[in-house]
Amino acid sequence: MPRYCFVSQVRTDRLEEYRRRHAAVWPEMLRALRDTGWRNYSIFLGDDGVLVGYVEADDLAASQAAMQANDVNRRWQDEMARLFADGGRPDENWRLIDEVFNLDDQLATVSRDASRDEER
């Protein structure tokens, strides 16, 4: 399954509110994320407001579009917007980051190569 990482910036004066809100996300929002194909979704937040998200999805663009069409997402994003440095909806202001290393992928490659060498 494809993996995606994104970064954003939370206002430093709103960090505690952001943490509090994400400690108990609305159940209907959680179900919407699951139902639109978001898997293994995690968000990390630094004390400087740097936010890093990680998600797995078969098709991130399709999952994002499905969330955009969902009313609970609109309500959640509208409430979260005031917590972000740019003031925009957080789901519209991600910066995707390219993955350059994955331990499991490289170990699998090494293992496959070793198996092929043993077969010869």
Show which residues are catalytic: 22
- Per-residue buried b or exposed e for 85-95, using 16+ beta carbons within 10 Å of the residue's own CB: eeeebbbeebe
Residue 105 amino acid letter = D
Q: What is the CA radius of gyration of the chain?
A: 18
Residues 6+ apart with CB under 8 A from 10: 18, 45, 49, 50, 51, 83, 84, 85
